[in-house]
Amino acid sequence: MPHLRTAIELAWQSRQHGNHPFGAVLVDENDQMLLQAENTVVTERDGTGHAETNLVRLATRHYSTKQLARCTLYSSTEPCAMCAGAIYWSGIGRVVYALSEVELYDIVGPSPDQLVLPCREVFAHSQRAVAVAGPILELNAEARAVHDGFWRA
């Protein structure tokens, strides 16, 4: 899972840059990395600056919907409902993530900012299939580690 590890590395970079620890990578049907993005919520002062939405914005500028349908988005953590919607509207055909939303919220702790809506459920209400793989348990510890000490002071 080298692309998923790259997404986790991007999450570490995002954290080092003063943002929330999330990263995402776009890969084509030949397993070639096309784009990558970090979370920029804090530094850009943009609540929609999640790694996945940043990646989708880049992807839709550079690739057609037909090309994106053959691509996979790898994410350090399960895409939230907003990101799942962006992924769907971009036409990206597949999502792979390491850490589940449920596990993330377990790490974060109680918060009024949580929108518990798994990406599979968002995609289940769409007219076009988006394949989902995750959580990837073999990378669970790595994906959790990037959040250690970040959310609770």
- Taking only the tens place, the pLDDT of each residue in 81-113 is 999 999 999 999 999 999 999 999 999 988 888
- The reported pLDDT for the residue numbered 153 is 58
Reduced to 3 states (helix: H, G, I; strand: E, B; else coil), residue 6 is helix
Q: Quick one: CA torsion of 109, 115, 104, 93, rounded to 10 degrees? A: 180
Note the pLDDT of residue 101. Answer: 94
**What residues are labeled active site?**
52
Core vs surface per residue 88-123: b (16+ CB within 10 A) or e: bebbbbbbbbbbbbebbeeeeeeeeeeeeebbeebb
Distance from C-alpha of 87 to C-alpha of 57, rounded to nearest angstrom: 10
More confident residue, 76 or 115: 76
